[in-house]
Amino acid sequence: MTAQDILSRVDHTLLRADATWEDIHTLCEEALRYRTASACIPSAFVRRARDAFPTLTICTVIGFPLGNASLAAKEAETRAALADGADEFDMVIPIGALKAGDTAAVTAEITALKAIVGPRILKVIIETCLLTEEEKLAACRCVTEGGADFIKTSTGFAAKGADLRDMPLLRAHIGPGVRIKAAGGIRTLEAMEAFLDAGASRIGASGAVSLLAPELGGQ
């Protein structure tokens, strides 16, 4: 797998609370230069990024990072980001509802946000480090039944990020139309390759470009 193969599956990400427009601008420039799958940025920056980079695939986050905003708030955030020009949306599920066994609420929320984004990509963050195996299986059902495009392992803001050991379980229990995004703590070339080999279609990472650009001659 070449450096460009990997980068083409990376959501080049900057979601830190202290990120400035200058930081986001640099990230977007890098995403275009190195042809990453997207630039994943906070929703507050989507409009400026779309105006500055009209051809860039822009991903943003909804209900991030805790997932415990109301559905109405998540719907409003999604509509605003869509109007501002976002192409892809990474939502955080209501994790407490899942852990309480209210899978109907989780599925309904996914369904509602997918209805807003329509044909655009919706990724659903389940925060695997907070879930039991049974809850991970329930999350797979919710994501599939809700019509999402991806199940995503982690926000990168919890105690732990993606765990390679979760990949076979997720792959075996998501629907045939659902892909996997692994994110959180994936910082080495070996880790990226391992998650991709294990079935991930996307990698969420902040350091992939700086790691792999030298292999492309820093072009």
Q: Which residues contact 141 (CB under 8 A, 6 or more apart)?
A: 103, 107, 173
152 a catalytic residue: yes
In the block, residue with structure tokens 């990509």: 121
Task: Report which of 164, 206, 191 is spatially closest to residue 19, judged by C-alpha positions.
Answer: 206
- C-alpha 14/C-alpha 23 separation (Å) is 8
Q: Which position among 84, 149, 152, 166 bears the catalytic label?
A: 152
Q: Which position among 11, 87, 90, 149 bears the catalytic label?
A: 90
Would you tell me how many other CB atoms lie within 10 Å of the CB of residue 21? Answer: 12
Is the bond into 65 cis (omega within 30 degrees of 0)? yes
98 in Cβ contact with 61 (< 8 Å): no
37 in Cβ contact with 196 (< 8 Å): no
The CA–CA distances, whole Å, from 66 to 74, 91, 92, 94, 113 equal 12, 10, 7, 8, 17
Residues recognised as catalytic: 90, 152, 181
